[in-house]
Structure 1
Amino acid sequence: MKVVYFSFTGNVRRFIARSGFENTLEITNDNCAEVRIDEPYILVTSTIGFGEVPDVVQTFLRHNGTMIRGVVGSGNRNWGQNFAKASDTISKDYMVPLLMKFEVQGTKKDVEEFKDKVGHFYEDNERKAI
């Protein structure tokens, strides 16, 4: 499964690097409007402001929203109920599961959970029997 991510401060980028996944794409201001994804993917995003979806991610999703299969959110718990809220919004708007949230660049346990959830995720949203 492809992992597409947006990293506002570099924390998500570090998290993705620690996961070891190779089939990844970082969306940026420079590529968000041009890149097209023709395979299912999991989106990992940070949250900006008071729980908003970053503009870069909104632009990307306008062109690639049909292939999203799940979302993961990054944030800071200091924001209370707005912690990683962009992932809640995307999950609702695109009717995909919110797989998990992690704080800042995530813990080792968060990385392992992410690897498990993405590694066992099927395009039809079924999980492998363990």
Structure 2
Amino acid sequence: MVHLYYDSKTGNVQRFINKVIQITGWQAHKIEESLEIQESGHLVTYTTKLGSMPEKTKMFMDNHAEKIYSVTSSGNRNWGRNFGLAADKVSEDYDIPLAMKFELSGTMEDINQFIEIIKHQYNDSKRGSKKLDIA
């Protein structure tokens, strides 16, 4: 079973996650201060303040980075080079592979690409493999 841990502020990541779990049946867990994770999984977050990692995501990663296989982030292409920059920051700060970036709540193509990436590249993989970084 694939576990997804996600942070959503405006609902874009929530909508993306809802579509993914509807298609796959994977388990999704919204990041809250009290969330304690038992299973390793994948992080999906958002980019805020023109390129920053959300504070809740940072606190989650400070406590659980060793159980996260990959990071994916939403963003807005209007931000230019800051598009989805939270994923780059998580990847760099916690040495976690960057799976992909998507705009706003993602298209069906983005959702299918994410599912394929997780199924074929990261399902039950070990942390530290940078083999994907295609974003």
User: Shorter chain as normaliser: what TM range?
Assistant: 0.7 to 0.9
1:69 matched to 2:69? The reply is yes
Q: CA deviation at 1:42?
A: 0.5
| 1:124 maps to which of 123, 126, 130 | 126
Identity within the alignment, %: 37
Counterpart check, 1:26 vs 2:26 = no
**Deviations for 1:90-128, whole angstroms, at most 9, x for unmatched residues?**
00111111010000011110000011111222322679x
Question: Residue 2 of structure 1 corresponds to which residue in structure 2?
Answer: 3
Letter in 1 for 2:52: E
**d(CA) in 1 for partners of 2:85, 2:40:** 22
- With structure 2 as the length reference, what TM-score do the two structures score? 0.85
Question: Is the Cα contact below 8 Å between 1:5 and 1:25 reproduced in 2?
Answer: yes
Residue 50 of structure 1 deviates from its aligned partner by: 2.1
Tell me how far apart the structure 2 counterparts of residues 66 and 41 of structure 1 sit (CA, whole Å): 10
Which residues of 2 match residues 1-130 of structure 1 at below 5 A? 1-20=2-21, 21-27=25-31, 31-32=32-33, 34-120=34-120, 121=122, 122-124=124-126
Structure 1 runs not aligned, ≥5 long: none
Structure 1 residue ranges, 4+ long, deviating more than 3 angstroms after superposition: none
Conservation of the 8 A alpha-carbon contact between 1:43 and 1:70? yes
Long gaps (5+) in structure 2: none
- Does structure 2 conserve the Cα–Cα contact (< 8 Å) formed by 1:40 and 1:123? no
Q: Classify the secondary structure of the residue corresponding to 1:79.
A: helix
* TM superposition score normalised by structure 1: 0.88
| Whole-angstrom distance in 1 between the partners of 2:5 and 2:35 | 11
Distance 2:83 2:18 in 1: 22
- Give the match's secondary structure for 1:39: coil
Secondary structure of the residue that 1:13 maps to in structure 2?
helix
User: Displacement, 1:61?
Assistant: 1.2
Number of matched residues?
Answer: 123
**Cα distance in 2 between the residues matched to 1:117 and 1:38:** 22
Q: Provide the rounded CA distance (Å) in 1 between the counterparts of 2:125 and 2:45.
A: 19
Greater shift in the superposed pair: 35-44 or 97-106: 35-44
Amino acid at match of 2:60: F
Q: Please give the secondary structure, in 2, of the residue aligned with 1:43.
A: strand
